Amino acid sequence: MQYSQEQYINSFLNNVKIIEDSFRRNVGLSKLTVSYIKKLSEELYRRYGKESKLKIMDFCGTHEYTITRFGIRSLMPDNIDLVAGPGCPVCVTPSYYIENAVKLALEGITIYSYGDVYRLRSQKPVSGAYSLADARALGGDVKIVTSIVEAIKDAEKHGNDSIFLGIGFETVAPGYANVLLKKLLPRNLKILSLVKLTPPAMFYSIDILHEKPLESSIVGVIAPGHVSTITGAKAWAPVAENYGIPVVVAGFEPIDVLLAIAEILKQLVRCEAKVVIEYTRAVSWHGDLKAQVAIHKAFKSVDDVWRGIGYIPKSGLRPRENFEYFDAFSYFGIKELTPSDWRYDLLPGCRCAEITLGKAKPTSCPLFMKICRPEKPIGPCMVSDEGTCSIWARFGVDSLASDIARDVGLR
Ligand code: SF4
C-alpha cells in the first residue's frame, strides 16, 4: 500500500505523540514500575541475602546514557547494580589501527572519519601524532564526515587516494555493505572496515564473569535496541538458553529501561530466563533480513581484537575477497593484527577494558575527571558520546553524589 506524503507525515506525528504520551510523560507508569522493581528486589533480597548485588548489564551506549542522564541508578534498590557493557565501538577500536590511519594521513592519504574517532588517542605516537586530530594539525588531510555517503561525494570531487574509517556495530554495516554491493564507491576511496559484532562480545563478557560468585556475575541483560533492529532479538537467545540469563531488548526512553529492569527481575523471581522484546516499536524477533543478507554478501566475519581486551572469536567484519580493490587493508598493505602481534593497548592507569566488561566503573579509575576529561580525553571510553566514562563525566552527578555520600557516611 502506497502512502501519500500527508498520510506519512500524519502517521509519523501520531507515532511521536504515542511515544510522548506513553514513554515521556507517563509519570504514573514510571512510579508504578519503580515500585514494582522495589517489590521484586525485596523478594530477591530475601532469597539471596543482603550480600548479593544483582548485576544487570546494558550493552548499548545509549542505554548507559539514559540510565545515567536520567538518574535511573538512584531509583534502584541497594541490591540492584546497573553496569555498562561493551556498548561503544570507538572505545574498543584498537590503537594499532588508529596508528595506521595517522601514518597514512601523514603520508598524504585523505582520511574520512566520524567526529569521535577523530579525537581517539593511540597508545603510541606516529611522527609526534597520537590521533587523527594531531595528524591534521601536522598537515594531514583528515576530514570529519557523518556518513560514508558524504565521504563518497567528497572523494569523487578530488580524486586523491582516500580511506573511510568504517567503525561501528551492526547498525552501520548494512550501509557499508550497500555501497560495496551496489558499486557506489569511487575507485580512489577504500573502506577500512573495523566493524565489530556485538553478540560475540556479549557472550565473552558474560563468560568471564559467569563462574564468579553471584555478586560479580551478570544476572540480567538489557540488550541493545539499535543493533537488534538489524540482528533481531534472536541474536540474544544463547544468553537465555546457554547461560540462563534473562534478556530484554529495550528502547531508549527512561520508561523503556525501567520496564526492562522490571521484566528481568520478574524472570529472576520466577526462575525463568527468556528473551523479551520491550522495544516492539522497532525490533522484531528475526530483525532486518534484507540487511542481514547484504552484510553476509559483502563481509566475512573474522576473529577481531577489542582494545584493551584482546581477541574475541568471530567478532569483526572485513570485506569479502571480491571487494579486495576497495578494501583498505589489501590496497594500502595494512597488516592485520594477529593474536601474537597484539599487545595490551591502553595507557597506564586507564581502566577502560574493565569498564567495558562491567568489572569496574569510571569512578574507580584514578584518572577520571583528573587528567582524563571529555574536553581532553586520555582513554578511549572518554572520547565518544557513547563511551561510559564520557557519559558519567557529563551526566553522572547522581553517581558521584552517591559515592561522596557513601564516603562521608551518609548512605
Ligand atoms: Fe580510561 Fe579516562 Fe575512563 Fe580512566 S577515565 S578509564 S583513563 S577513559
Record the cell numbers describing residue 287, joined without a space: 530483525
Record the cell numbers describing residue 27, joined without a space: 509519570
| Residue 70 CB–ligand 1 contact under 6 Å | no
Average pLDDT score over residue span 323-333: 96
| Residue 355 CB–ligand 1 contact under 6 Å | yes
Pocket test for ligand 1, best of 347, 364, 368 (most atoms within 8 A of CB): 368
Residue whose CA lies nearest to ligand 1 atom number 7: 350
| Residue 365 CB–ligand 1 contact under 6 Å | yes
Instruction: Describe the strand order of the beta sheet including 299-306 as a list of residue ranges.
Output: 195-196, 310-319, 299-306
Give the CA radius of gyration of the chain: 22
pLDDT band at 411 (very low <50, low <70, confident <90, very high): very low
Looking at residue 208, what is its pLDDT? 83
What backbone torsions phi and psi does residue 86 show, to the nearest 5 degrees? -80, 65
Record the cell numbers describing residue 198, joined without a space: 556485538
Give me the half-sphere count of Cα atoms (radius 13 Å) on the Cβ side of residue 173: 33
**50 Cα to the center of ligand 1, angstroms:** 31
| 181 CB-near residues (< 8 Å, 6+ apart) | 294, 297, 298
Terminal Cα-to-Cα distance of the chain (whole angstroms) = 59
Atom of ligand 1 nearest to the CA of 388: 3
The number of residues in the chain equals 411
Q: Which of 14-18, 82-86, 219-223, 230-234 has the lowest mean pLDDT?
A: 14-18
Looking at residue 284, what is its pLDDT? 97
**282 Cα to the center of ligand 1, angstroms:** 33
| Residue 393 CB–ligand 1 contact under 6 Å | no
Of 2.30.130.40, 3.40.50.11750, 1.10.3720.10, 3.40.50.10790, the CATH number of 26-88+199-277 is 3.40.50.11750
Within 10 angstroms of residue 117's Cβ, the number of other Cβ atoms is: 26
**75 Cα to the center of ligand 1, angstroms:** 26
Beta bridge partner(s), residue 221 = 57, 247
**365 Cα to the center of ligand 1, angstroms:** 6
Average pLDDT score over residue span 268-289: 96
| Residue 82 CB–ligand 1 contact under 6 Å | no
Protein fold of 95-196+288-331:
Rossmann fold (3.40.50)
Q: How far is CA 154 from CA 16, 119, 135, 140, 215, in A?
A: 34, 21, 19, 16, 52
Q: Report the chain's mean pLDDT, rounded to a whole number.
A: 91
Q: How far apart are CA 231 and CA 397, in angstroms?
A: 34
Record the cell numbers describing residue 92, joined without a space: 574498543
Residue whose CA lies nearest to ligand 1 atom number 2: 379
In the chain, which segments carry CATH 3.40.50.11740?
95-196+288-331
Highest mean pLDDT among 44-48, 74-78, 305-309: 305-309
Looking at residue 229, what is its pLDDT? 97
Pairing between strand 310-319 and 299-306? antiparallel
| Residue 389 CB–ligand 1 contact under 6 Å | yes
| Residue 383 CB–ligand 1 contact under 6 Å | no
**352 Cα to the center of ligand 1, angstroms:** 6
Dihedral of alpha carbons 111, 112, 118, 121, sign? negative
Q: Is the pLDDT of residue 252 over 50?
A: yes
Tens digit of each residue's pLDDT (9 = 90 or more) over 166-210:
999 999 999 999 999 999 999 999 999 999 999 999 999 888 876
Average pLDDT score over residue span 73-77: 90
In the chain, which segments carry CATH 3.40.50.11750?
26-88+199-277
